[in-house]
Amino acid sequence: MPEPRIERIEPGEALRRQRAGALLVDVRESHERALGHAASALGVPLGVLTEGLDAHAVPPGQSLLLICQVGGRSLKAAQILLEAGYLSVASVEGGTERWKAEGLPIERPDGDRDYFERYSRHLRLPEIGEAGQQRLQSARIAMVGAGGLGSPAAYYLAAAGVGTLVLADDDVVDRSNLQRQILHTEARVGMAKVESARLALSALNPRVRIEAFPERVTSDNVEALIGAADVVIDGADNFPARYLLNDACVKLGKPLVYGAVHRFEGQASVFDAGRHRGSAPCYRCLFPEPPSPEDAPNCAEAGVLGVLPGVVGMIQATEAIKLLLELGEPLRGRLLHFDALAMRFRETRLSADPDCPVCAAGRSFPGYIDYTRFCAGD
């Protein structure tokens, strides 16, 4: 006997049959249905379809209409139900999107509509979903620097729904910043960078809590700034702050997402020695001694391509999200180098230094030092 053919019907025909007694079943996930579903549709996700129908005591002889987002999953659902012994199944062409476009009746369940609409593209990723988005919403990221690297990183982290962003920077907005520091505007020249950043990020996503500290990170305040953070982002523009952040993150067991830019080149990595002693390197393993000021002039002295911090800052934001969600392979033990002129990435493997004065396995934290003098070579 030939296999039963899956019937494909238009949304209008599905509505007519539903009103005549057919059961309309929405096979999308609950977070998708929360954005709106065909009126009176029974929600049963594709992954639990047959068990879900059994739980609702749907008999094999019931006429079933399957609907999803655009029509693909409903065809799979129809095939599953035919194989399970259901006798009358049809798939709605174009799914819920077409149902809405044709003005057919829609219902929206009670709930946080802003949340489901704002993060709908994350919620549709099975690797993130509602559980992952809730994880982002409860996360706390500390960022030192609200300038070139901090701007794109903070923008994308706020957009992604990270619950709390802690920003520390003692600088004010200067007109020369606007070429690359996209958090700031002409109207906010002279304003504290963290306040300018708070205004921009709150306008983008009012759900995110911004804690702004208009102060330079020092040995006295670093633990208060990063102590409760899940991830720390290095957006600093000076070596004393980088070494200090590294040492504090090793001591407190925080992953540090590193980024740096110079002229037309950038670097990024994840230093996670505090949680992985002896296997993951820290910043000092890569740079035991700071370079001389002549070998590493800052952006004001050497210049920087305006879009370069955007590339590196977005890599930092990506790594931070991966760390929070425990997704993929972080840049732990790898230094990513970006050459904008050649449009080329290359990677260098990094190893933990068994003699590192800060992160060597079994070594007690040596205490904070005078990082300004250390970086000056005194």
CATH number of the domain encompassing residue 208: 3.40.50.720
Q: Would residue 1 count as lying in a domain? A: no
- Those residues with Cβ within 8 angstroms of residue 139's Cβ, 6 or more apart along the chain or in another chain: 162, 163, 164, 230, 231, 324
Domain boundary among 111, 133, 156: 111
CATH number at residue 58: 3.40.250.10
Q: Would residue 203 count as lying in a domain? A: yes
Q: Are residues 102 and 222 in the same domain?
A: no
The structure tokens listed for 251 are 């001591």
Q: Would residue 116 count as lying in a domain? A: no
Domain boundary among 69, 90, 111: 111
Burial class (CB in 10 A: 0-12, 13-18, 19+), 3: exposed
Q: Are residues 229 and 309 in the same domain?
A: yes
- State the alpha helices, DSSP H only, in the chain: 11-19, 30-33, 49-55, 72-83, 95-101, 113-118, 120-123, 129-137, 150-160, 193-204, 222-226, 239-252, 283-286, 299-302, 308-325, 371-376
Q: Would residue 2 count as lying in a domain? A: no
61, 101, 123 from 48: Cα distances, Å: 19, 28, 18
Q: Are residues 28 and 144 in the same domain?
A: no
Rounding to the nearest 10 degrees, give the CA dihedral for residues 47, 52, 53, 56.
-170
Q: Would residue 306 count as lying in a domain? A: yes
Domain that holds residue 149: 123-376
**Catalytic amino acids?**
299
Q: Are residues 280 and 372 in the same domain?
A: yes
Q: Are residues 95 and 127 in the same domain?
A: no
Based on C-alpha coordinates, what's the Rg of the chain? 27
- Those residues with Cβ within 8 angstroms of residue 319's Cβ, 6 or more apart along the chain or in another chain: 257, 268, 270, 330, 331
- Do residues 374 and 287 lie in contact, with contact meaning Cβ atoms separated by under 8 Å? no
Q: What's residue 3's pLDDT? A: 54
- Those residues with Cβ within 8 angstroms of residue 11's Cβ, 6 or more apart along the chain or in another chain: 92, 93, 94, 98, 99, 102, 104
How far is 375 from 292, CA to CA, in rounded Å?
8
Q: Are residues 107 and 128 in the same domain?
A: no
Q: Would residue 31 count as lying in a domain? A: yes
- Do residues 194 and 146 lie in contact, with contact meaning Cβ atoms separated by under 8 Å? yes
Q: Would residue 210 count as lying in a domain? A: yes
Q: Would residue 362 count as lying in a domain? A: yes
Q: Are residues 178 and 142 in the same domain?
A: yes
Q: Is 350 helix (H, G, I), strand (E, B) or coil?
A: coil
Beta strand pairing call for 265-271 and 256-262: antiparallel
Q: Are residues 194 and 300 in the same domain?
A: yes
Cβ neighbours around 304 below 10 Å, total: 20
Which parts of the chain sit beneath pLDDT 70?
1-4, 292-301, 378
Q: Are residues 94 and 167 in the same domain?
A: no
100, 261, 314, 369 from 236: Cα distances, Å: 48, 10, 15, 18
Rounding to the nearest 10 degrees, give the CA dihedral for residues 244, 248, 249, 253.
170
Q: Are residues 59 and 195 in the same domain?
A: no
Q: What's residue 378's pLDDT? A: 65
Q: Are residues 149 and 72 in the same domain?
A: no
Full DSSP string of 131-145: HHHHHHHT-EEEEE-
pTM: 0.85
Q: Are residues 283 and 304 in the same domain?
A: yes
Domains identified in the chain, total number: 2
How far is 24 from 36, CA to CA, in rounded Å?
14
Q: What's residue 1's pLDDT? A: 42
Q: What's residue 298's pLDDT? A: 65
Domain boundary among 54, 86, 111: 111
